[in-house]
Amino acid sequence: MSLYDQKYLDIAENIIENGYFDNNRTNVKTYKLPHQIMQFDLRKEFPVLTTKRMPFITAVKEMLWIFRDQSNDVSLLHKEKVKIWDEWVLEDGTIGTSYGYIVKKFHQIDKLIEDLKNNPQSRRMLISLWQNEYLDTGALYPCCFLTMWDVTDGYLNCMLIQRSGDWGLGIPFNTTQYAVLTLMLSQVTNLKPGLFTHVINNAHLYENQVEALKLQIARRDEAYPAPEVWINPEIKNFYDFTYKDVKLIDYKHHDDIKMEVSV
C-alpha cells in the first residue's frame, strides 16, 4: 500500500467515525475534523492515491495555470479540457482576484525562486494567496492559501496550509499537485526534493460522499504501491514546464469513484 493511501484513508475513516456533523456555507452538511496533517518524504515516495484513479494530468494543468500562467482566465483551462472551475466562474469568464491573479500581482513565484537560489536560509520564503483586500472580488476564497518553503542541507521542503479541505474530492487533488510543484521548483533551483507536509485546518466530508468514501476504505487491503514520478530533466526554467514534462511511471490504481461537488 502507498503511504498516501494509508494516511488518507486513516483520516477519512476518522472523519466518518468521529467527525463533528453540522451545517456549513453550502447546503450539504459535513462531518469535519480540525487540524489534520499528512507528511511525506519525496525522496522515498510520491503521494498519489491508488485506491481510486487520480486525475493526475488535470491536477498538474490546474497547478500550472495558477503558478506558471498566473492566470484567472477560465477559458485557458477549457482549452486544456479542464472544467473544474466551471461552478465558480464569474460573468467575465474569470475567477476574479483569486489564485493566479494574486500570484502575478505580487510576483510571488519569481520572488520565491530568487530566494531559493540566492538566499536559501531565509525564513521568509512563502507564497500567500490570502490577501484581504482581494478576497471579496474573487470567485472563491482560496482553500490552499499558503505554502512555506525551507531549504535544509540541499533539500527543498514545502509546507502547504489549507484552510478548508473537501476530503473526498479536493484533498487528493491538492496533495498531488503541490507535491509536483515542489519537485518542479527543486529542479529549477538545483535543490533536491525533501519533505512535503500538508496541513488542513478544516478537513471535512460531505454527507453525500460518505458511502463513496466507505467504498474506497474497503479497498484498503487491495491498494497498490506508489508509482514513480518522472520530471523532464531538461527543464531549467520553471516557466518552461508543461503538463507533458511530468509523468507517473507504473501507476496502478482502482476504478474511479464518483462524488458530488458541493458549491
What number of other Cβ atoms are within 10 A of residue 21's Cβ? 10
Which positions ≥6 away from 181 have C-beta within 8 Å? 63, 67, 147, 158
pLDDT in tens, 93-129: 999 999 999 999 999 999 999 999 999 999 999 999 9
CATH number for the domain formed by residue range(s) 3-249 = 3.30.572.10
Point out which residues pair with 38 in neighbouring strands. Answer: 198
pLDDT in tens, 29-70: 999 999 999 999 999 999 999 999 999 999 999 999 999 999
Per-residue pLDDT band at 261 (split at 50, 70, 90)? confident
Whole-prediction pTM value? 0.97
DSSP state of 262: P
H helix intervals, the chain: 3-18, 56-67, 74-79, 100-105, 108-118, 132-135, 170-188, 210-218
pLDDT in tens, 200-256: 999 999 999 999 999 999 999 999 999 999 999 999 999 999 999 999 999 999 999
Residues catalogued as catalytic: 143
Per-residue pLDDT band at 259 (split at 50, 70, 90)? confident
- Provide the sign of the torsion angle of the four alpha carbons 168, 65, 109, 139, taken in this order: negative
**Which amino acid appears at position 173 of this protein?**
F
Point out which residues pair with 246 in neighbouring strands. Answer: 231
- Collect contacts of 118-123 with beta carbons under 8 A, ≥24 apart: 120/151, 120/191, 121/151
Q: Domain boundaries in the chain?
A: 3-249
